[in-house]
Structure 1
C-alpha cells in the first residue's frame, strides 16, 4: 500500500515548479502559463481600477453635494395670499433657525432667500440662482470657505457678491468688476411690474468642485437679497446641515417638531437620490461583468492544465508506480494551476493600485492624445475622474480571483490524480 505523505510536501512543490517551467517543445505549457498569468493580471487590475473609480466618483459626487448644499431644506407650508397666490415664505425665520439648532445632530441652520434671475455684464448674460445669506452663515459652507480654487476675499462679501467660477467665466468678469442682477419681478407700477436691475461688485469667486454649482451659484448678503426680491423681513427657507448626512432620515421628524409651525422638508437624498441609486445599480452590474472577465482569464488555467496532464501522462504513471498517492498527484497539479492564479493576482493588485494612485497622470495622457474634451463636467457634474482605493474593494478582487483560480484548477488536477498508471504506461 502506498505510503501517505504530508500534504504539500517539498517534493510536490519541486515537481509542480518543474512542470511550470516546461519548455515549448514539451507541449507549449509555458506559453499557456504566460497567457493565463497575463489574463488574470489584467482582469484583476481592471476590477480594482473600476472599483476604485466607482468609490472615488461616488465619494466626490456626494462630498460636493454635501459641501455646498443644504442637507435639509425646511420651508413653510403653502398658504393662499390675499390676491389668490401661493406663499411659502417664513416671517419668523430667526426663531425657526434657533429652534432647529436645538435638535441634537444639527450643526447649522441658516435662513435663505432664493431666486432665479439673469446676470449681465456688457454683452454677456447668464442665468443664475441667487442665494441670499448672512455673512456668518456663508462662513459655515465647507466648499465655499475652502473651495478647490478661489479669487478675492470672502471677508468682503457684505459689500458685493460671491459668484461661482463658471458664472465668472460666462460673464467674463474678475474681482472688482460689477455685474447686473436682473429680476422680472421688480417694482409694481400703474403700468405693471417693471424688471428690477441692481449692480453689484464681484468680491469673491469660488470653485466648489461641481459644475452645476459653479455655473449657476451667486451669493448675495441676505438683507440685500430681501430688498431685491421684495422679501423684506422674510426668508424662503432654512438651510440645515447635520453631523451625519447619511442618517438624515432620523432627524426629519425632530426638526419638524422643533419648528412647531406647519412645515415641510426636502433632503439631499430627495435631490440626488435617483442618481445615487443609478450609480449603485451600475456598480453592481460592472462588478458582475468584470467578475466574468476574471472567470474567463481563470479558465485559461484549466486549458493549460489539461494540456499539461495530457503531456505528462507518462510521468504520472511512473510517479504512481513509484508510490505517489492520488492525493499527491492532485496536489502537484493543483499547485501548478493555483501558483499561476496567485502570481497573476499579485501582479494584478500591483498594477491596479499603481494605476488608481496615478489616475490623474494617466487621464492627462489619454486626454492629451485624444485632443482634449474626454471628460465633460457639464455631463458628469465634477471636473476630474477620481479614484479611491478601499481595502475591502481590493480584498474582494483578490478573493474573487483566488477563489476562481483554485476552483477551476481542481477539475484537471482531479483528472490527473485518477489516471490509471497501467493505461498511462501501456504504449510507452
Structure 2
C-alpha cells in the first residue's frame, strides 16, 4: 500500500479539530465548503444547460421535422410521387406535405402576425408535442375549410376561446373586378395547444391542408415537405441519399442548418460557463494551499520530533499530502451529492422560490420554456470530479513538500 496505517492515523489527526488549533480547523472547514459549493454549482449549471439544449432540440425537431424540402419557386407539384421516393430511402421514418405561409390575424379589435401551417389531420395528431398538449378543445373536428388550431398564448393575447371566430388576412392580393384585394376569410377556433415554448405558443396556427391550399392559392400543391428520420443525430448519414432523389426545382434543408446559429451560441456559452465556474474550484484549491500551509507552520515542532524519531521526508510528505487530499476528496463528495440532490428537486425548488418572492425566475418569454430543464451527463460529472480532485491534489504538493523540508534542528532550537 502507498499509505501506511501510521501515516493515515497522523493525517486524520491533523484533520480532527483540537482546542488549540480551532482556527486552523475552521479554515479547513471553509476549504471543504468551497470545494463543495464549486462542484455543486458546476454540476447544477452544466446539467441545466444540457437540459435546456436537449429540451430545445426535442421541441424544435418534434414540431418542425428533422429536415425539410422547399420549392425554389414556392410550389411543389406532384408532391405525392416525390414523397414516395423520399420515403423509400433507408433511415427515413415519414414524409409529410405542408403548406406554410404568414398571415395577419384579427379578432376583438386586435391584429397580430402569425405563421400558418396547413397539415393533414393524421400528421397533426402524430405531432405529440401538439396532440398531447391540447389545453382546450379537441382535434376531432380538424377538417373542412374553416377550422384552425391556435397556440394558447396567441389566443390569450387576442382574447379568443374555443368556439370563437378569427379573421385571417393574406399578405398577397387576389385580382378582382374592382382591383387587387387582400384575401380575407373567417375561421373557427376548435382547439388551443400549449407546448411550453413561447415562440410557438404565441405565433403558430394550424389548419387543414385543403383549407391552407385554398387560402394561399396553392391548389393541388404544397410549398414544403417535412422529413422525419429514425434518428435525427444520424441525419448526415442519409443526407446524400435523400438529395439524390430530389429534382433540381427543390432544395434540402435540415434542422441543424435551420438552427445553426442558435445551437452554436448555446455551445459557446456552455464552454465559457464551464471555464468560468472552474475558477470557483480553482479558488477553493488555493484555500487548500493556505490551510495546509498554516497547518504545517503550526505543527513544526511535531514534525521536527517525528523527524528526530526516524520519520523520513517521504513519510512526512505522504502524511500532509493525504491530509490535503482528504480535504479535496471530502469537498468533492459533498458537492457531488449536493449537486445531484438539487437537480433531482430543481422544479420543486423553482416553485418554492417563486412562491416566496412572488416572481418568475424562469420566464418563458425569455427562455422559451416554462420550467427549468435539467439533464445530468454522467461523463461530464466524471470529468468535473476528476478535474476537481486533480486540482485538490496538486494544491497539496507544495505544503507537503515544505513540511518534508523542515529542519528538526532549526524547529527545536528555541524550545
| TM-score between both structures, scaled by the size of structure 2 | 0.95
- Provide the secondary structure at the position in 2 that maps to 1:131: strand
- Distance (Å, rounded) in 2 between the aligned partners of 1:7 and 1:363: 46
Residue 169 of structure 1 deviates from its aligned partner by 1.1
- Distance (Å, rounded) in 1 between the aligned partners of 2:380 and 2:321: 27
> Which one of the candidate residues 117, 122, 143 is aligned to 1:158?
143
Residue 312 of structure 1 deviates from its aligned partner by 0.8
Aligned to 2:220: 233
Cα deviations by residue, 1:221-269 (Å, 9 ceiling, x for unpaired):
1111111111111111111111222232333322222234532122211
- Distance (Å, rounded) in 1 between the aligned partners of 2:293 and 2:259: 52
Answering whether residue 312 of structure 2 is matched by residue 325 of structure 1, we say yes
1:88/1:329 Cα in 2 relative to 1: closer, same or farther (>3 Å)? Answer: same
Aligned to 1:189: 176
> Which one of the candidate residues 231, 234, 246 is aligned to 1:244?
231
Aligned to 1:170: 157
Aligned to 2:352: 365
- Provide the secondary structure at the position in 1 that maps to 2:106: strand
- Distance (Å, rounded) in 1 between the aligned partners of 2:384 and 2:182: 60
Aligned to 1:10: 5
> Which one of the candidate residues 327, 339, 351 is aligned to 1:352?
339
Aligned to 1:127: 113
Residue 405 of structure 1 deviates from its aligned partner by 0.7
1:203/1:308 Cα in 2 relative to 1: closer, same or farther (>3 Å)? Answer: same
- Distance (Å, rounded) in 2 between the aligned partners of 1:75 and 1:112: 10
Cα deviations by residue, 1:341-389 (Å, 9 ceiling, x for unpaired):
1111111111111111111122223334444243332222222221112
> Which one of the candidate residues 107, 115, 119 is aligned to 2:93?
107
Answering whether residue 31 of structure 2 is matched by residue 36 of structure 1, we say yes
Residue 24 of structure 1 deviates from its aligned partner by 5.3
- Comparing 319-328 and 149-158, the one that deviates more: 149-158
Aligned to 1:145: 131
- Comparing 189-198 and 371-380, the one that deviates more: 371-380
- Contact 2:102/2:171, CA 8 A, preserved across alignment: no
- Distance (Å, rounded) in 2 between the aligned partners of 1:378 and 1:251: 36
Aligned to 1:223: 210
Answering whether residue 21 of structure 2 is matched by residue 26 of structure 1, we say yes
Consecutive unaligned residues in structure 1, runs of 5 or more: 1-5, 78-86
Aligned to 2:43: 48
- Distance (Å, rounded) in 2 between the aligned partners of 1:7 and 1:116: 71
1:243/1:39 Cα in 2 relative to 1: closer, same or farther (>3 Å)? Answer: same
Aligned to 1:81: none
Cα deviations by residue, 1:82-124 (Å, 9 ceiling, x for unpaired):
xxxxx32011111111111111111121111111111222223
> Which one of the candidate residues 59, 68, 84 is aligned to 2:54?
59
Moved over 4 A (4+): none
- Contact 1:71/1:241, CA 8 A, preserved across alignment: yes
1:121/1:130 Cα in 2 relative to 1: closer, same or farther (>3 Å)? Answer: same
Consecutive unaligned residues in structure 2, runs of 5 or more: none
- Contact 1:55/1:388, CA 8 A, preserved across alignment: yes
- Distance (Å, rounded) in 2 between the aligned partners of 1:362 and 1:27: 35
- Distance (Å, rounded) in 2 between the aligned partners of 1:123 and 1:296: 59
- Provide the secondary structure at the position in 1 that maps to 2:111: strand
1:401/1:378 Cα in 2 relative to 1: closer, same or farther (>3 Å)? Answer: same
- Contact 1:119/1:182, CA 8 A, preserved across alignment: yes
Aligned to 1:82: none
> Which one of the candidate residues 27, 51, 70 is aligned to 1:75?
70
- Contact 2:154/2:201, CA 8 A, preserved across alignment: yes
- Provide the secondary structure at the position in 1 that maps to 2:375: coil
